[in-house]
Amino acid sequence: MSNALSQLVVLITGASSGIGAEIARQCAAKQMRVAITARDAARLTDMAAECRTLGATDVFIVAGDVGIEADCKRIVHATVDHFGQLDILINNAGLGASGKLEEISDLTIFDTLMRVNYLGSVWSTAHALPHLKKSRGRIVAISSLAGLTGVPKRTAYAATKHAMAGFFDSLRIELAGTGVSVTVIYPGFVFSEINQRALSPNGQPFGDHAYQRKVGETMETAECVRQIMRATERRDRDLVMTFRGKIGRILKLLSPRLVDSIARRVISKRQ
Ligand SMILES: NC(=O)c1ccc[n+]([C@@H]2O[C@H](COP(=O)([O-])OP(=O)(O)OC[C@H]3O[C@@H](n4cnc5c(N)ncnc54)[C@H](OP(=O)(O)O)[C@@H]3O)[C@@H](O)[C@H]2O)c1
């Protein structure tokens, strides 16, 4: 693959673990200039050291909570102050939740997930947009297959990912002619810490017992990110991952009930 991304400035949210950390590694290996953000500053420091070893020419750490608009603004401004430009924003920070609606005792889960997954992406994008217009840059949003279809036990999570799809698909149309591209990514199951951090029905994280087990198709993080990098480089409109995801998108138009029953079967094997 060519290295068309070399030297570009990328801001990655949720870069302290999982998919975001691997995006930072692969951007570093492409000699990009990398800004990494998440709440855990210590893990970001470790990530920055890894990125430098892998070849990033400049790595900038800015800790913050994307569930707070002022933090999103500060993260974007600090990045632009440091590098003097912004070419790519990757809205990756996210939080999961699992449990049937009637089992959920702490309904604040719904607003927490909406703030982190949806509003965090909206706020970061809104503050980054003037800079991305100057660079004719790229916006990337990490949604989920749960952003394309309903998933049992994932009402809170699926709603945020559908909201992201609606927001970014609309924004793409608004930005036609500006040179700024919008790429929405729909991964299936990917190895990461998402299940440990996911909120249980009482509002507490599931913790270590929820380690992502190899059930059915769970994609390696590195492969998921290779696909994200390719879509970003090509400014693809969107990327639906996995065979089941691609077929499901078409099948939903023809037989939405069949897609519902597939989603029920898939989730019954997981937490
Ligand atoms: N893994 C999957 O199966 C899968 C499938 C489809 C889509 N996705 C999506 O992929 C993205 C990355 O998830 P992952 O699987 O890599 O999970 P992960 O390993 O749990 O990583 C989540 C990242 O988001 C950050 N984050 C969480 N809450 C935040 C907040 N309030 N402010 C700032 N950063 C925050 C975390 O850092 P701190 O805790 O340090 O803040 C961490 O770096 C998410 O949007 C997720 O929905 C994942």
212 pLDDT more than 70: no
Domains of the chain as residue ranges with CATH: 9-242 (3.40.50.720)
Q: Which positions are annotated as active-site residues?
A: 157
- The pLDDT, as a whole number, for residue 105 is 96
pTM (2 decimals)?
0.96
C-beta of 86 in contact with ligand 1 (< 6 A): no
215 pLDDT more than 90: no
Å from CA of 241 to ligand 1 middle: 17
Place of tokens 């994932």: 154
C-beta of 219 in contact with ligand 1 (< 6 A): no
pLDDT band at 127, cuts 50/70/90?
very high
pLDDT tens for each residue of 72-95: 999 999 999 999 999 999 999 999
The number of the ligand 1 atom at minimal distance from the alpha carbon of 143 is 7
DSSP output for 178-215:
TT-EEEEEE--SBSSSHHHHSBPTTSSB--GGG-----
21 pLDDT more than 70: yes
C-beta of 266 in contact with ligand 1 (< 6 A): no
C-beta of 147 in contact with ligand 1 (< 6 A): no
pLDDT tens for each residue of 229-251: 999 999 999 999 999 999 999 99
Query: What does the block give as tokens for 157?
Result: 């999570």
1 pLDDT more than 50: no
Average pLDDT, rounded, for the chain: 94
Please give the Cα distance from 131 to 110 (Å, whole number).
31
Spatial neighbors of 167 by CB under 8 A, at least 6 apart, are 118, 121, 122, 141
Residue among 190, 195, 199, 224 whose CB has most ligand 1 atoms within 8 A, to mutate = 190
